[in-house]
A and B are shown apart, each in its own frame.
Chain A
Amino acid sequence: MPTFPNVRLANRPLHFIYLCDCSGSMAAQGKMQALNQAIRQSLPGMARVARENPEARVLVRAVRFADRAHWHIAEPTPVEQLQWQDLQAGGVTAMGEALELVAAQLASPPMEERALPPVLVLISDGQPTDDFEAGLALLLRQPWAQKAVRLAIAVGHDADQEVLQQFIGPDPEAQLPAGEVPGASGEMPRHRTGGSGRSPRRPLQASNATTLAQYIQWASTAVVGAASMPASRVDGDVSGSNIPLPDLPPTMVDMVEDVGPVVW
């Protein structure tokens, strides 16, 4: 008999949403296959983290975007029950529409009052072909999107780093003026991981299948773990993300040193 009957206690939902670029260029050099494999392989680790953090209810969704954007996994699905269906490449890059789809789901309702900051992971190898700015504006109008942990993975070197950085938001560690792409000015910002030039607050450069898998694994385990039981953050602290993000794994090689089997 509980001490406090008739009170609905609840663990807090943690919404994890992939936004996957399925444009035709993703078919080249096995990028689509690598992404499918990376996400599928990350699921056991994600499920383990979810089990280790029962105070959070990890719910996964995915959006695919090419000529149009669609929900690939529309229902928030407990990670233990998730079975990843392969994405298919073909078409252009309706990234803005994908952001609009997510924006609608981050409204309150359907978002729960007590949810944890969602985690949004945008994965792209190219440039948006629709109105990205409008989609992003719509997304960021939602308070839940503002509090979300927004990560971006650039697949190959043709990805539009600027739009990915816009999706993430300004990198406070880079201390660059708003709108300026970190690194573009030639100024070397401070970074979290051994001065390698990488930060979770900047697009993560995946130059081959191995690196992509490592980033997906990191986002789906370390970030989910951090977001599941976020430490409080002092208001006005602009030095980081909405939750303290874990460091990138030190084993990851920098893009300039990348010597994977196939370089995208």
Chain B
Amino acid sequence: MSGWQPPRHCTVIGAAHRRKGVVCQDASRVATLRGRQGASLQVLLVADGHGGRRYSRSDVGSRLACDQALAAVAAALEHTPLDDRSAWLALLCQGLPITIQERWGDAVQAHWQQQPAETPFDLSLYGTTLGVLLLAPDWWGCTGLGDWDLAQVGAAGPALVSEEVLPASAGEATASLCQPDAARLWPSRARLEPLPAAGPPFSLVLSTDGVRKSCATDADFLELCSQIAAVQNAEELGQGLADITTRGSGDDLSVAIGHWAGPGSGSQTAPGAPTAQVAPVAQAPPTAQAPRAARTAVRPSAPPQAGVHPALWIGLGLALAAAAWMHGPPLARQATSAWTTARNTAQIRHQAEQLCRSPAWITPTLNQRRAQFEQLASGRLEQSRSIAAAGRDPLGALIAWSQPPHRNTPGPTPTDSEATDPRATDPRATDPRPIVAPPGSCPALQTALEQQWAQLPPHPTGSSLPKQPKPDKVPEPQR
């Protein structure tokens, strides 16, 4: 039995589309599939057709995207046990993208043949985004492409766990199923997260971009996700979304919600695994098979382990998990800590490399985080916790990493900090510059960080030590 409650979804036509007599271009679906071994897999899907003259059949495209994604997942479930996480991670990264792209291409072509128009067939007519969320007894995973968002709402508050990252100049642009070789864009949004054997309940809220764009700020969006997750009544959810599009973006809105209530009595735990074990997080391997030119053209958000062969990461994760299961909690903690440290460092490196590819955006990007610089400098934000939150907020972790030593808040003892601060083992941590150069950073980024830190007053010392955050308070991700 799974700890997942029945999934919910809702799509409402945008206020602007309703007013102008335009059809809804969003689509959403949820379904519960059953695998050969009896375990169930929930599938949550949202798709957002692009609209406009160039994408005149995108309402059909989004619906077919959901249909074909569901069929592709069902087919994969036929031959892939749900407890084979590495197989499912590979499916999220490559297998499903290829299959869904092919099926969707065939489906829209068939639709065209049934309802031809004067203009020649063009995949773009059906252009759409697609977000796929899978909820298995032991893990959840996502994949897809485009400007959908995925938020997690848990005991620590809401956090954005997946969003599309494009250059700031991209404006209203998004990745699309209709792009050539679109399957190569999916891995940057693919991830697989094992569920803890014990832990507080949480929800996952998958939404099309109209939801986020209706909110004044990202903080409001996350708050909205919290409230959406709490709504149980379908009619109330529909009314709420209709209100959002009217007072917000005017765009079509889709949400799909999964809720994990805790481990079920019959959850599919790996044989022999201790019940309290938390396996390391497995994430998408890099787009190693995508030609560099293709990746550069679209600049998707590369996964944090870019540069390392995917098999190594999967292998490392499985090896660490196996070692932890065999040797009990102490080694499990060390293994998980090592994994977490490597992952955080990789994510910071990826963030730095991304910024360095576009030097003109470095300062504007950092300017938006002035509050974080100030909070770190004053001690209101704890450096090690910000670095530890690299998965949710890699830019925040990068800023925390760069914090000059004399600005560090009074932190844990050196021994403890070695376990939590990956800078302790990084040779660049001894950089004589005023800041600590983040991994993967370029001179332009280092200079910009120096300028940011230089604008702040020196850190107070002595009896006026800053107030420390509560130990259980994890910093909220910032954008």
Q: Which residues of A contact B (CB under 8 A)?
A: 2-12, 53-55, 107-109, 113-114, 117, 141-143, 146-147, 229-237, 242-244
Contact = CB atoms under 8 A, between A and B. Distances in A.
Interface stretch (B70-78, B208-216, B406-414, B420-428): B208-216
A235 B244 contact: no
B174 A232 contact: yes
Contacts of A54: 15, 250
Interface in B235-290: 236-237, 239-240, 243-244, 247-251
16 contacts: A2-B240, A6-B227, A9-B244, A9-B247, A108-B364, A113-B217, A114-B213, A114-B215, A146-B171, A147-B169, A229-B16, A231-B52, A232-B127, A232-B147, A234-B174, A234-B178
B174 A229 contact: no
Contact of B124 (A11, A141, A234): A234
Contacts of A237: 173
Contacts of A117: 171-172
Contacts of B172: 117, 147, 230-233, 242-243
A243 B479 CA distance: 24
Given A12-B249, A232-B51, A114 B217 contact: yes
Given A4-B224, A232-B50, 6 more contacts: A6-B227, A55-B15, A141-B360, A231-B51, A231-B52, A232-B48
B168 A9 contact: no
Given A9-B215, A142-B364, A55 B220 contact: no
B218 interface: yes
Nearest to B294: A236
B204 interface: no
Contacts of B52: 231-232, 244
A50 to B, nearest CB: 13
B168 A146 contact: yes
B297 to A, nearest CB: 5
Contacts of B243: 2-4
Contacts of B239: 3
A147 B77 CA distance: 42
B173 A235 contact: yes
Interface of B: 15-16, 48, 50-55, 124, 127, 129, 147, 166, 168-176, 178-179, 213-218, 220, 223-224, 227-228, 231, 236-237, 239-240, 243-244, 247-251, 297-298, 360-361, 364, 367-368, 479
Nearest to A242: B171
Given A11-B248, A232-B51, A4 B227 contact: yes
Given A55-B250, A107-B367, A234 B179 contact: yes
A104 to B, nearest CB: 12
A230 B210 CA distance: 12
Contacts of A147: 168-172
Contacts of A12: 213, 249
Nearest to A4: B227
For the complex of A and B, the 7 pairs showing the least CB-CB separation, nearest first, are A231-B52, A3-B240, A55-B250, A143-B168, A146-B169, A147-B171, A8-B216
A158 to B, nearest CB: 32
Contacts, number: 147
B249 A55 contact: yes
A149 B218 CA distance: 25
A130 B231 CA distance: 59
A6 B173 CA distance: 30
Given A55-B250, A147-B169, A242-B171, A113 B218 contact: yes
A50 B406 CA distance: 52
A65 B322 CA distance: 69
A10 B176 contact: no
A244 B53 contact: yes
Contact of A234 (B16, B50, B361): B50
Contacts of A244: 52-54
A99 B210 CA distance: 32
Contacts of B231: 3
Contacts of B53: 231, 244
Nearest to B222: A7
Contacts of A10: 214-216, 247-248
A233 B216 CA distance: 22
B214 A233 contact: no
B215 A235 contact: no
Contacts of B297: 236
Contact of B179 (A4, A53, A55, A235): A235
A237 B179 CA distance: 9
Interface centre among B48, B168, B216, B368 (most CB of A within 10 A): B216
A7 B220 contact: yes
A200 B361 CA distance: 27
Contact of A7 (B55, B166, B168, B223): B223
B250 to A, nearest CB: 3
A55 B224 contact: no
A4 B240 contact: yes
Contact of B220 (A8, A233, A242): A8
Nearest to A6: B223
B290 to A, nearest CB: 14
A237 B50 CA distance: 13
Given A3-B231, A3-B236, A9-B216, A234 B173 contact: yes
Nearest to B231: A3
A37 to B, nearest CB: 32
Contacts of A109: 367-368
B173 A233 contact: yes
Nearest to B248: A9
Nearest to B172: A230
B175 A234 contact: yes
A61 B15 CA distance: 28
Contacts of A236: 173, 179, 297-298
Nearest to B209: A232
A8 B248 CA distance: 9
Contact of A55 (B175, B237, B248): B248
Contacts of A5: 227
A7 B364 CA distance: 27
A143 B363 CA distance: 11
Contact of B171 (A6, A141, A233): A233
